[in-house]
């Protein structure tokens, strides 16, 4: 049996390629210049937040009533080894130097070896510290996620159970466990932030934000400074090429890592490119679903689904209204 087409929400595959090119060309200055603009804004943010920081050593003096001590680094993010967090880590290091960046891997499953392997590739390429007594770059949250399941299973209401041990989780239970793991990751980053007086970088992109594809009070919606709020996944892949990100990371399908086999494309029902295109047409070009169907031979049902996702996730985007993010002009 022939493989299903990658772009199944458009009648003509060439239309998809045309729209991908249109998205890529909306910034006339190209992706090398875009990458440099993002790096410059990260650097500006860092300097504004930490005017006394030493950009070469990452040290700065922090004084309070009880103590004076050296703190480092300043910019923090979760490093899953996926394309978004990898590109964000590369950008941060290029902007402020490796001594000023703490990239923390927080596997939610004890068997999530691919995520850790890819994160290790990033650390090696950027010469970032590996996990040791001085620099905690890996925090295994899988025991916390498992403990949460066990606690919920002890409640008197069966509907609140999450299954644990040998019992398989259903889809709803998987999503609940995933949301909990997402919030734990943010809790850990902000705990580190308190300890080192750092700032948390956001790695959610425009397509994710418009679909509400993230956990309220979790990743990737909770941050101090958003890097990709105006950018599509297509843009992030292009910047990855400019930054010379390891090809294996570029080629790996995006996943949350909360349960085995999960992918963004599988969960959201469309290729990354199609999600970007519908987001672009609906929320940047401001076309209606019927206009998109008529002009581009696109699926009306999926356009309506994307529109509805935007509507029902408005409460999540409210959280970001007061947060700083990179603005591309």
pLDDT of residue 259: 64
pLDDT of residue 174: 82
pLDDT of residue 2: 43
What CA–CA distances, in Å, run from 67 to 61, 64, 104, 199, 302? 11, 6, 26, 21, 57
Look up tokens 């860092």; give the residue.
46
3 state SS of 239 = helix
Look up tokens 């891997």; give the residue.
105
pTM: 0.90
**For residue 19, what are the contacts with CB-CB under 8 A and spacing of at least 6?**
277, 280, 281, 296
Task: Choose between 75 and 65: higher pLDDT.
Answer: 75
Among 55-59, 157-161, 312-316, the range with the most confident prediction by mean pLDDT is: 312-316
Phi and psi (nearest 5°) for 2? -70, 150
Compute the radius of gyration of the chain from its Cα atoms: 21
Task: Tell whether 126 is covered by a domain.
Answer: yes
pLDDT of residue 118: 95
Specify whether the CB–CB gap between 31 and 235 falls below 8 A.
Answer: yes
Burial 255-293 (b: 16+ CB within 10 A, else e): bbbbbeebebbeebebbbbbbbbbbbbbbeeebebeebb
3 state SS of 249 = helix
Q: What is the pLDDT of residues 109-148, one digit of tens each?
A: 888 888 899 999 999 999 998 766 666 789 999 999 989 8
Task: Tell whether 289 is covered by a domain.
Answer: no
Q: Is the confidence at residue 69, as pLDDT, over 50?
A: no
Band (263; pLDDT cuts 50, 70, 90)? confident
Task: Tell whether 106 is covered by a domain.
Answer: yes
Domain of 230?
Answer: 29-270
- Name which of 116-130, 144-158, 239-253 the model is least confident about: 144-158
| Nearest residue to 236 (alpha-carbon basis) of 6, 16, 38, 41 | 38
Mean pLDDT of 188-213: 93
Band (55; pLDDT cuts 50, 70, 90)? low
Band (68; pLDDT cuts 50, 70, 90)? very low
Q: What is the pLDDT of residues 17-28, one digit of tens each?
A: 999 999 999 999
Task: Tell whether 66 is covered by a domain.
Answer: yes
Band (62; pLDDT cuts 50, 70, 90)? very low
pLDDT of residue 53: 73
pLDDT of residue 66: 42
Q: H-helix or E-strand containing 102?
A: strand 101-104
Task: Tell whether 9 is covered by a domain.
Answer: no
Strand order in the sheet with 101-104: 101-104, 75-78, 199-202, 225-226, 324-325
Task: Tell whether 53 is covered by a domain.
Answer: yes
| Nearest residue to 115 (alpha-carbon basis) of 138, 133, 95, 90 | 138
pLDDT of residue 103: 95
Among 70-74, 165-169, 238-242, the range with the most confident prediction by mean pLDDT is: 238-242
Task: Tell whether 101 is covered by a domain.
Answer: yes
pLDDT of residue 70: 43
Task: Tell whether 308 is covered by a domain.
Answer: no
pLDDT of residue 221: 92
Number of structural domains in the chain? 1
Q: Is the confidence at residue 175, as pLDDT, over 90?
A: no
CATH at residue 142? 3.40.50.620
């Amino acid at each position: 049996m022939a493989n299903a087409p990658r772009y199944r929400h458009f009648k003509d595959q060439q239309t998809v390629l045309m729209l991908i090119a249109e998205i890529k060309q909306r910034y006339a200055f190209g992706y090398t210049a875009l990458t440099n603009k993002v790096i410059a804004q990260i650097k500006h943010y860092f300097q504004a937040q930490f005017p006394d920081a030493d950009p070469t050593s990452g040290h700065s003096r922090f004084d309070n009533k009880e103590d004076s001590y050296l703190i480092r680094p300043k910019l923090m993010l979760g490093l899953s080894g996926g394309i978004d967090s990898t590109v964000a880590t590369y950008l941060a290091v290029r902007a402020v130097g490796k001594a000023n960046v703490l990239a923390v891997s927080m596997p939610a499953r004890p068997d999530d070896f691919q995520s850790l392997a890819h994160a290790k590739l990033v650390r090696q390429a950027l010469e970032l510290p590996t996990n040791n007594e001085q620099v905690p770059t890996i925090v295994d949250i899988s025991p916390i996620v498992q403990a949460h399941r066990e606690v919920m299973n002890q409640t008197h209401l069966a509907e609140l159970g999450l299954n644990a041990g040998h019992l398989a989780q259903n889809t709803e239970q998987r999503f609940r466990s995933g949301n909990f793991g997402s919030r734990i990751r943010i809790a850990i980053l902000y705990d580190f932030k308190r300890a080192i007086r750092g700032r948390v970088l956001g790695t959610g992109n425009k397509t994710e934000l418009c679909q509400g594809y993230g956990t309220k009070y979790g990743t990737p919606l909770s941050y101090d400074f958003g890097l990709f709020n105006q950018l599509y996944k297509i843009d992030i892949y292009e910047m990855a090429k400019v930054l010379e990100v390891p090809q294996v990371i570029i080629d790996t399908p995006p996943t949350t890592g909360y349960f085995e086999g999960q992918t963004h494309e599988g969960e959201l029902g469309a290729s990354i490119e199609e999600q970007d295109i519908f987001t672009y047409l609906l929320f940047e070009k401001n076309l209606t679903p019927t206009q998109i169907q008529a002009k581009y031979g696109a699926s009306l049902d999926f356009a309506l689904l994307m529109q509805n996702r935007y509507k029902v996730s408005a409460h999540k985007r409210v959280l970001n209204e007061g947060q700083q993010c990179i603005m591309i002009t």
